[in-house]
A and B are shown apart, each in its own frame.
Chain A
């Protein structure tokens, strides 16, 4: 990040994401291990457990993906930063591609909302425990909301930087 951002909400949100990532990872690893041991000892498993694990997994995936957006660590072809040496061109391209990314996150919010509201209205459920499907699918929606938020902020920063380069301040 260009500069440190503060505030209870900003930091609290990040801490919440880190905690979800930490505990959900452990829950998944430990419960799969226990499941495997139970099968070995009792010749049966925790029936329907994979259904519950996969809900934790979805939340882990999308909260993690959003955290990757905050860190700006999504995989990129590093052509611009490694091979473009012209400062103006480089900063323009970075600002542009971040802006496009943020835009597509908003498109993603729209599509995720479509999926979520469909499950909600139709009352779709998982096969064993009949858990509503909006529970895992909410992660997709929230993931895109957070990604849109973080990429928009990155865009603002990169845009400012590009502007300053053009104005000759950097």
Chain B
């Protein structure tokens, strides 16, 4: 029955059912085959998404949207450009670092991509970067939006897995920084022989100082945001949900009057857009919660663990297989759905083989974050294509190269070096 349910899930996903309805189909199959009374399904879904903790997600999405329309990113990019813009391939590196910095403001990767992408794609095109490559690079870098805290993905994980949000936020920070470095360096290395690229002019010390002062001044209100959000959360002024609300509210006057990107018209537009995204995510959570409840009742985690243990009994091997499992999930669905489905099933297994839950948070974050750019379900890759006009087949090869040279090494490091994810939570939060 479970096998059919999973098969049904895969088939419905592939023929193009919206993700929530693929979950729903699979859930109804288990209901029918197991002679369950379906009455509890909606009650369970309803109760699951009622948590106020989850409200952080729509609020972070809204904040991200407001900052995107409010031109907040432009000032950040200009400042970063001052430092890395003059090396060959530097502009690509600027885009990567900008995604990381923007990631410390927003909790979502699609907000990061639309925001940084809408500014960087035209600039990259002007300077001669291949379309497919830039789509792949920015799609990949925008995942930093969920690896650098705050992170909607980690909110979901901590909520389902009963872990501290703060610790989960910190867990993916070092892996995120490693990935930022790797992608920026990889970009420069790939483009080292490309002679079409234009490089911005060198400034002398005097000019640099002046530009630095100017651009920092202009970026200041935007630079305040991560301080507000992360400082507010870790300083004990606000809960993560409140931080999300505060940052959305803060972005409104800043967008209207400081960066002047917001108008009454696009203000309403962007709120409606983020509310739609929110609705789409919440309907998905609603249905995935029903499905995972049935998986629990059918004891899927134990069955998977037994299966894994019949293949290998070493922690090393099981971790490898958990990774493969999540990569497959990441190919089939978006990051939120995959997190919601994998956490209740895989976290107990990870704990049973002796993995620290916060370490697992980082493994899951990197792995499922990567899932956003692994085809066939690669929402960020498609979004990047829509933004800069690259076709999927153009961005496919550079994406695979990025996966191979940046993501897989980072995933292996995160998986097999627990120190990377546990050091900060231990240092700052006293996690044992």
Q: How many residues of B contact A (CB 8 A)?
A: 60
| Chain A, Cβ-Cβ closest to B290 | A111
Q: Which residues of B have CB within 8 Å of A35?
A: 242
Bound complex: CA A108 to CA B13 (Å): 19
9 pairs across A/B with beta carbons < 8 Å? Answer: A24-B275, A54-B52, A62-B282, A64-B278, A65-B283, A96-B15, A97-B17, A107-B28, A140-B42
A29-B59, A33-B245 known; A77+B14 contact, CB < 8 A:
yes
B residues 258-284 touching A (CB-CB < 8 Å): 268, 271-272, 274-280, 282-284
Residue in contact with B376 in the complex, picked from A33, A82, A105, A143, CB distance below 8 Å: A82
Inter-chain pairs besides A68-B280, A118-B39, 8 sampled, C-beta below 8 Å:
A22-B275, A36-B242, A75-B334, A82-B376, A97-B12, A100-B25, A104-B21, A107-B28
Closest 8 CB pairs of A and B: A64-B279, A74-B18, A65-B279, A21-B275, A32-B245, A61-B282, A65-B283, A36-B242
Q: Which residue of A32, A53, A94 has the most chain B CB atoms within 10 A of its CB atom?
A: A32
A162 at the interface (CB under 8 A from B): no
Q: Which residues of A have CB within 8 Å of B136?
A: none
Q: Which residues of B have CB within 8 Å of A96?
A: 15
Q: Is the CB of B62 within 8 A of A29?
A: yes
Q: Is the CB of B242 within 8 A of A111?
A: no
Q: Is the CB of A77 within 8 A of B279?
A: no
- The A interface, classified by DSSP as helix, strand, loop or mixed, is helix
Q: Is the CB of A71 within 8 A of B249?
A: no
Within the complex, the shortest CB–CB distance from B196 to chain A, in Å, comes to: 28
Binary per-residue interface labels of chain A (9-27) against chain B in the complex, 1 for a CB within 8 Å, 0 otherwise: 0000000001001101110
Q: Which residues of B have CB within 8 Å of A66?
A: 279
A46 at the interface (CB under 8 A from B): no
B168 at the interface (CB under 8 A from A): no
Residue in contact with A100 in the complex, picked from B17, B272, B278, CB distance below 8 Å: B17
Bound complex: CA A143 to CA B279 (Å): 10
Bound complex: CA A143 to CA B43 (Å): 15
Q: Is the CB of A79 within 8 A of B16?
A: yes
Bound complex: CA A137 to CA B15 (Å): 31
Q: Which residues of A have CB within 8 Å of B282?
A: 61-62, 64-65
Q: Is the CB of B21 within 8 A of A22?
A: no
B24 at the interface (CB under 8 A from A): yes
Bound complex: CA A62 to CA B281 (Å): 10
B residues 31-88 touching A (CB-CB < 8 Å): 38-39, 41-43, 46, 49-50, 52, 55, 58-59, 62
Residue in contact with A101 in the complex, picked from B17, B55, B276, B375, CB distance below 8 Å: B17
Q: Which residues of A have CB within 8 Å of B238?
A: 36
Q: Is the CB of B59 within 8 A of A97?
A: no
Enumerate chain A interface residues (CB-CB to B < 8 A). 18, 21-22, 24-26, 28-30, 32-33, 35-36, 40, 50, 53-54, 57-58, 60-68, 71, 73-83, 93-94, 96-97, 100-101, 104-105, 107-108, 111-112, 114-115, 118, 136-137, 140, 143, 147
Q: Is the CB of A25 within 8 A of B271?
A: yes
A54-B50, A93-B16 known; A77+B280 contact, CB < 8 A:
no
Q: Is the CB of B241 within 8 A of A32?
A: yes
B residues 132-178 touching A (CB-CB < 8 Å): none
Q: Is the CB of B42 within 8 A of A111?
A: yes
Q: Which residues of B have CB within 8 Å of A111?
A: 38-39, 41-42
Residue in contact with A28 in the complex, picked from B245, B283, B286, B392, CB distance below 8 Å: B245
Q: Is the CB of A68 within 8 A of B245?
A: no
Residue in contact with A65 in the complex, picked from B25, B245, B280, CB distance below 8 Å: B280
